[in-house]
């Protein structure tokens, strides 16, 4: 398996619940290293740009409003198979359908407020990492 990088966001609901550390522990226990990180209040334009692929979806406005409702913790995770490893840790989009022991099953309240984002392909990971971090802000593991 190849060493990869993926983008992870701890969303406003999970930051408000004060579980950044508990979520980071799950990354670490799965062999993922944080190689870049920032706590950030997204502007509406930043959230809209990040989720531009969902612009036509009925939930787009609610999603953007939720993502700017408080600060988010954004990180680049690096490790073997990082993209899929992070997706497995996250669990299904709807926490009611997420497997027991996943981040969303344990910390998310609803499909709207679902605790975390994770890139869903390596192609998107590269785009999403570049959206939030300059090359000099990402550190070799």
Positions that interact with ligand UDP (CB under 6 A): 59, 63, 93, 111-112, 114, 117, 120
Widest Cα–Cα separation across the chain: 39
Ligand-binding annotation for 93, yes or no, is yes
CB of 49 to ligand UDP, least distance (A): 14
Nearer to ligand UDP, 5 or 104 (CB): 104
Instruction: Identify whether the C-beta of residue 48 lies closer than 8 Å to the C-beta of residue 64.
Output: yes
Among left, alpha and beta (phi > 0; psi -120 to 50; other), residue 101 is: left
Ligand-binding annotation for 61, yes or no, is no
| CA separation for the pair 8, 105 (Å, rounded) | 17
Q: Name the residue with the smallest CB distance to ligand UDP.
A: 93
Ligand-binding annotation for 87, yes or no, is yes
Nearer to ligand UDP, 26 or 117 (CB): 117
Three-state DSSP class for residue 10: strand
Q: Looking at 35, 117, 128, 132, which residue is catalytic? A: 117
Q: How many CB atoms lie within 10 A of CB 136?
A: 7
Ligand-binding annotation for 5, yes or no, is no
Q: Is the dihedral angle over the CA atoms 9, 91, 13, 54 positive or is it negative? A: positive
Nearer to ligand UDP, 25 or 65 (CB): 65
Instruction: Clarify whether 117 is annotated catalytic.
Output: yes
Active site residues: 117
> Binding site for ATP: residue ranges?
11, 59, 87, 93, 104, 114
């Amino acid at each position: 398996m190849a060493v990869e990088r993926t983008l992870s966001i701890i969303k406003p609901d999970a930051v408000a619940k004060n579980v950044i550390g508990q979520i980071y522990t799950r990354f670490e226990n799965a062999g993922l290293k944080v190689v870049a990180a920032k706590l950030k209040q997204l502007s509406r334009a930043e959230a809209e740009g990040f989720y531009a692929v969902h612009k036509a979806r009925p939930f787009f406005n609610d999603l953007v409003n939720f993502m700017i409702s408080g600060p988010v913790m954004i990180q680049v995770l690096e490790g073997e198979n990082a993209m899929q490893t992070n997706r497995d840790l996250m669990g299904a989009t709807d926490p009611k359908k997420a497997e027991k022991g996943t981040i969303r099953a344990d910390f998310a309240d609803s499909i709207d407020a679902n605790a975390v984002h994770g890139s869903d392909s390596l192609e998107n990971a590269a785009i999403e990492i570049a959206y939030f971090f300059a090359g000099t802000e990402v550190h070799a593991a």
